[in-house]
Amino acid sequence: MEKIFSRREALATLGLGLTFSSFIQQSKKQGFQIGACDWSIYKMDSPDAADVATQIGIDGVQVNLGSLSNNMHLRDPKIQQQYLQNFKKNKIQFSGLAIGELNTIPYKSDDRTDQWVSDSIDVAKILGVKVILLAFFANNDLKNDEAGTRTVIEKLKKVMPKAEQNGITLGIESWLNARELQYILNEVKSPNLKAYYDVANTNHMGYDIYSEIRELGKQNLICEFHAKENDFLLGSGRVDFQEVRKCMDEINYKGWIQIEGAVPIGKPMVESYIENRKFLKSVFV
């Protein structure tokens, strides 16, 4: 396994030093910020995601750690340099980090993923990211999987001290309902483990989006949100984003809202995301 550089070592190596750090601090705004997933803007695992983000007019990009085929490439300092330089050039923030490959190579049953999750904390520090999304779908689905859930709980117990020491939150995105999520969070007992809330996934499962946001949020158990629709623009589908905003206000959430999906069939992605961004800005002001 290649060495994971510290944030200070990486920035010094990149020749960015305090200049990049200062840019990130200056670019942060109060309140909500709008990002998008790199896989949703057709630039998964590419630093060119920053160029597309500039076209769309969003504040940041939630980047994927990588894939099995590229050895989870954001762990490589050379790849980090490419991302850091292009994001700085475009004045785009890293709005989050995700490990999507867990859907194929499951955390619940493949021990290779233990190193990925641990290393992602180091990468998050280098990129200035505070939240890492852990994906629990497809092969990694925990719904009705008691054994898999118990394995994940034990693995998280081992890695959470590192996350806590580095000020990083791990977010579980899954098909689980609020009660099932709370069970895992209560078992792990770490303030840095929370639910990553995707409103479209919850709607798809038939859960009450708004009650769940209030239930989890009032216990400070939500780390971040995906603003998502399947085959609809945001505001034109099944999710009432005005009500989502009310829920966020009630739980005092201010932070990143990441656009995922929300491209109607036959409509260009960039055009769709410009409209999605404008809609979210009209609601989350």
Please check the confidence at residue 283 and state whether its pLDDT lies above 90. Answer: yes
Q: Report the pLDDT value the prediction gives residue 156, as an integer from 0 to 100.
A: 98
**CA 226 to chain CA centroid, nearest Å:** 8
Residue 44 structure tokens: 């998964």
**How many independent structural domains does the chain possess?**
1
Please check the confidence at residue 85 and state whether its pLDDT lies above 80. Answer: yes
Please check the confidence at residue 16 and state whether its pLDDT lies above 80. Answer: no
113 found inside a domain: yes
163 found inside a domain: yes
285 found inside a domain: no
Choice between 253 and 19, residue whose per-residue pLDDT is larger:
253
2 found inside a domain: no
Q: Cα(15)–Cα(71) distance, rounded to whole angstroms?
A: 25
User: What pLDDT, in 10s, does the model give residues 50-81?
Assistant: 999 999 999 999 999 999 999 999 999 999 99
257 found inside a domain: yes
* CATH of residue 45: 3.20.20.150
188 found inside a domain: yes
Q: Cα(102)–Cα(122) distance, rounded to whole angstroms?
A: 18
pTM comes to: 0.90
Q: At how many degrees (to 10) do helices 112-127 and 77-90 cross?
A: 40
Q: Report the pLDDT value the prediction gives residue 31, as an integer from 0 to 100.
A: 80
Q: Report the pLDDT value the prediction gives residue 20, as an integer from 0 to 100.
A: 45
Which burial class, exposed, middle or buried, applies to 154 when counting CB atoms under 10 A from its CB (0-12, 13-18, 19+)? Answer: exposed
Q: Report the pLDDT value the prediction gives residue 41, as an integer from 0 to 100.
A: 98
236 found inside a domain: yes
Query: CB–CB of 214/249 below 8 Å?
Result: no
104 found inside a domain: yes
Q: Report the pLDDT value the prediction gives residue 285, as an integer from 0 to 100.
A: 76
Q: Report the pLDDT value the prediction gives residue 244, as an integer from 0 to 100.
A: 98
Domain range spanning residue 254?
Answer: 7-277
Query: CB–CB of 35/28 below 8 Å?
Result: no
Please check the confidence at residue 4 and state whether its pLDDT lies above 90. Answer: no
Please check the confidence at residue 234 and state whether its pLDDT lies above 90. Answer: yes
Q: Cα(3)–Cα(21) distance, rounded to whole angstroms?
A: 22
Please check the confidence at residue 24 and state whether its pLDDT lies above 90. Answer: no
